[in-house]
Structure 1
Amino acid sequence: METKIRVAVIDEYPLFRDGVKCGLERHADIDVVAQGASAQDAIRIAREYEPHVIVIDLSILGSTLTGAEDTLLQYPVTSLLALATAAGEEQVPSALRRGVRGFLMKGSSAQELVQTVRALTRGEYYVAPAVAAKLLMRDDSGAAKVVPDPSPLSELTVREEEILSILVKGCSNKEIGSRLALSEKTIKHHVTSILQKLQVRNRVEAALLAAGKMPAGIALRQ
């Protein structure tokens, strides 16, 4: 018999917590083991229940991100999935570096929530496209940033770096091909190579890595 994914939900509002619980527990492989309303609750629940994933309102983390980091260090089986009310939260880049593994908008579907919980349980990262798009448009000072940091991208060829620098801007394969006078099929081949070399699952994660918003190898399983 497979072990269920143990999840805890942390949010100020009981009605929202109950909604998340209901959406998750419709799936036989997920069990919501606890609820809370504060970062302190999250730490206590991590200690008492050792959930695989803690779904927590990003505003609750706020300036207490050190507490969240401590939770992850003490209970490595637990991954934090932050829920944001608006894309482009200033805490997102800092939280990613400190150990938060997933971000979703509060308006996300129950299906995306379930898929993200499962992904985090597999040791992966996930950032909602709406959040990722905001992050890619700025660096930590708030200035526009479209040129990737080459340090984690040393294995890429010059052409792949050129393609990735355009991909960061949210362009499709067809649009990239048009800019570089290459066929869409050729761009698709290069993008596949880029994903493999960066060890990421998709274009969003590749763009985040290029923009310096996620650590290298974010899609590797632990």
Structure 2
Amino acid sequence: MSDKIKVGIVDDHPLLRQGVAATLGRVEDFEVVEQGGCADEAREISARCQPDVLLMDVNMPGDTFAAVRAISKAQPKVKVLMLTVSESEDDAYSALEGGAQGYVLKGVSGPELIQAIRTVAKGETFITPALATRLLSNFRKHQTEQRGVDLTHREEQIIREVANGLTNREVAAKLGLSEKTVKYYMTNVMQKLHARNRVEAVAAVRRYWESHKTWTVGIGAP
């Protein structure tokens, strides 16, 4: 079995698509399995090739967000990473709500794109930092229950560190936990916040902290 990360690329600009493919083709543990130029081809490539990560543009022929939703539902193992010039928050929200694991702007450098692909392939979320800051402060799509967020002390501790920009590994090192334990707690937090990913979870707690003077912590094991 190959340990390579299989990548699909869907963009309606052939030169850009070929450039990205050439860049990724030089990475030892990457394999570009297929390319396409529209939303329908993204769905077809996802079903036929089952790439680990599917790079998709936002603005291309077809309903891109419907394709993201369809891929997320039909091929959940395929991680969608948007690679686009669009800095629209609505586009980013639509992509993330549809099931995309990441959102990266096309001005990204080669090493940053490689990092984004590796992050998404592991099931984590990656968003261009400057855009992520705006999304976290303005996210309004998922409302946290007004009666309080029923988190344990340890869950609150971990989400606060994640909100400060730390990765699971960095949180684990800081709190003296295993990375697997941190991931377990983050899964619990996302379920309680009805969040699909880390971005939504952090946005929810940030919004809650801003609108409430106190934090309601449930009674439970740390």
TM-score range, shorter chain: 0.5 to 0.7
Aligned AA for 1:210? V
Alignment of 1:37-186 (within 5 A): 37-60=37-60, 63-140=63-140, 153-155=149-151, 164=160
TM-score, with normalisation over the residues of structure 2? 0.66
Distance across 2 between alignment mates of 1:44 and 1:13: 18
What secondary structure does 1:83 align onto?
A: strand
Question: 1:61, 1:68 within 8 Å by CA — same for their partners in 2?
Answer: no
What secondary structure does 1:103 align onto?
A: strand
Could you say which residue in structure 1 is the equivalent of 2:204?
212
Could you say which residue in structure 1 is the equivalent of 2:208?
none
CA gap 1:152/1:88 in 2 versus in 1, 3 angstroms: farther
CA gap 1:4/1:156 in 2 versus in 1, 3 angstroms: same
What secondary structure does 1:6 align onto?
A: strand
Could you say which residue in structure 2 is the equivalent of 1:176?
none
CA gap 1:37/1:62 in 2 versus in 1, 3 angstroms: closer
What secondary structure does 1:32 align onto?
A: strand
Distance across 2 between alignment mates of 1:94 and 1:151: 27
Aligned AA for 1:38? C
Query: CA shift at 1:62, angstroms?
Result: 7.9
Query: CA shift at 1:154, angstroms?
Result: 2.8
Distance across 2 between alignment mates of 1:94 and 1:110: 25
Please tell me the root mean square deviation across aligned C-alpha atoms, in Å.
Answer: 4.0
Could you say which residue in structure 1 is the equivalent of 2:4?
4
Query: CA shift at 1:207, angstroms?
Result: 6.7
Could you say which residue in structure 2 is the equivalent of 1:27?
27
Query: CA shift at 1:76, angstroms?
Result: 2.4
Q: Which runs of 4+ in 1 moved over 3 A?
A: 60-64, 147-153, 195-200, 205-208
Could you say which residue in structure 1 is the equivalent of 2:213?
none
Query: CA shift at 1:10, angstroms?
Result: 0.8
Query: CA shift at 1:3, angstroms?
Result: 2.8
Aligned AA for 2:115? Q
Question: 2:136, 2:199 within 8 Å by CA — same for their partners in 1?
Answer: yes
Count of aligned residue pairs for this structure pair: 186
Question: 1:11, 1:56 within 8 Å by CA — same for their partners in 2?
Answer: yes
Query: CA shift at 1:70, angstroms?
Result: 1.2
Distance across 2 between alignment mates of 1:46 and 1:93: 22
TM-score, with normalisation over the residues of structure 1? 0.66
What secondary structure does 1:107 align onto?
A: coil
Percent of aligned positions with the same letter in both sequences? 29
Question: 1:103, 1:126 within 8 Å by CA — same for their partners in 2?
Answer: yes
Aligned AA for 1:111? P
Question: 2:102, 2:126 within 8 Å by CA — same for their partners in 1?
Answer: yes
Question: 1:81, 1:103 within 8 Å by CA — same for their partners in 2?
Answer: yes
Write the deviation string for residues 137-195 of structure 1: whole angstroms up to 9, x where unpaired.
32348xxxxx98778953265xx69x95xx96x89xxxxxxxxxxxxxxxx87xxxxx7
Distance across 1 between alignment mates of 2:147 and 2:126: 22
Greater Cα offset, 29-38 or 52-61: 52-61
Aligned AA for 1:209? A
What secondary structure does 1:104 align onto?
A: strand
Query: CA shift at 1:86, angstroms?
Result: 3.8
Question: 1:8, 1:45 within 8 Å by CA — same for their partners in 2?
Answer: yes
Question: 2:12, 2:37 within 8 Å by CA — same for their partners in 1?
Answer: yes
